[in-house]
Structure 1
Amino acid sequence: MVPITFGILVPSTIVWRSQDAAFWQDTKPGHTVLKIFGAIFWIIGASVLFASNVSFHKQGRGTLEPWARPKHLVTTGLYRYVRNSMYLGVFTMLLGELLFFNNKNLLLYLLFFMVAQSINVPLHEERVLRKSFGPEFEEYCKHVPRWIPRLHPYTPRKGTN
């Protein structure tokens, strides 16, 4: 529910409530191209979010919700390349919405969301994961970057997962 809230509901509210909804008018050249790129980015981001959730359910045997956290550390699917694929999916969706709607308030929201998660993830989420999965999570962190995906998939050593 959290990714849908921050990736769809909040941005929709921002667009609907904006008095100055666009950086430029629809009649300017290139606007249609930006809408197309925005839609493509949004679809990619939503796909990343969906694929990440599938891994959470299949390998982790849990959900994003605090009351049903994964029982196993998720290191499959997109998590083999980057530790925070769900957030990257939301970032990409927000970039798509920014391009599609040309809304300066969405730019501010995207920047705020990125900064907030850059603080939240290491200070809160990773602390919870360290407490839950200990050395297994530490080993995973050594090999899989937080934000920038690695080129080759991570494969845990036998006995660590």
Structure 2
Amino acid sequence: MTQNPLHWIDLPPVWLALSLALVWAFDQLMPWGLFGPTGPIVGGGLVASGVAIMTVAAGQMLAARTTVIPRGQPRTLVTGGLFAWSRNPIYLGDVLILAGAILWWDVPVAVPLVFGFILLIQHKFILREEAVLKAAFGAEFSQWAAHTGRWFGRNLR
């Protein structure tokens, strides 16, 4: 079976890049000034945090010898480190980068794009990945999912 060549274009980093390009385009078309001088400071912090979270999470996955490719077959269920606080720290990093760019470029009209991006990523990637993890790791995945937020948080019951 041959795969559609566009299959590799439909990946989270591409969606993030498209979203960032849209924010940048809004910035070029409509200067706002709403966030003031704190926008670039807070935005830069969010972008840096997002990149750091993504880097650490990818490193944890590679150290566990499992795939970081969204449609790949996982070999190991990574539940420690950042994955103890988020089932999807790389996607969380994407969201932080997008939100940071909106603040950095001072584009308040793009704030709804963050929520759209979250919905897109959740429905195009996360739900499928969770089904694959549940099929591969069963009760271990269910226990981890019960205690770890999809995006962020711990349930210590």
TM-score over 0.5 (shorter chain): yes
1:6 to 3, 15, 18: 15
Match for residue 108 of structure 1?
A: 112
Instruction: Tell me the secondary structure at the aligned position of residue 69 of structure 2.
Output: coil
Deviation at 1:122?
6.0
2:94 to 73, 90, 101: 90
Percent identity (aligned): 25
Q: Is the 8 A contact 1:60 1:73 kept in 2?
A: no
Instruction: Tell me the secondary structure at the aligned position of residue 64 of structure 1.
Output: coil
| CA deviation map 1:44-64 (0-9, x unaligned) | 011111111111111143222
RMSD: 2.6
| CA deviation map 1:69-125 (0-9, x unaligned) | 331111122001221111111111111001011224532321211122344466422
1:139/1:50 CA distance change after superposition, 3 Å: same
Match for residue 43 of structure 1?
A: 48
Instruction: Tell me the secondary structure at the aligned position of residue 116 of structure 2.
Output: helix
Unmatched tracts of structure 2, length 5 or more: 1-7
Match for residue 149 of structure 1?
A: 153
Instruction: Report how many aligned residue pairs link the two structures.
Output: 146
Instruction: Tell me the secondary structure at the aligned position of residue 37 of structure 2.
Output: helix
Runs of 4+ aligned structure 1 residues displaced above 4 Å come to none
1:6/1:105 CA distance change after superposition, 3 Å: farther
Match for residue 159 of structure 1?
A: none
Q: Report the Cα distance in structure 2 between the residues aligned to 1:44 and 1:108, rounded to whole angstroms.
A: 21
Unmatched tracts of structure 1, length 5 or more: 153-161
The question of 1:32 aligning with 2:37 is answered yes
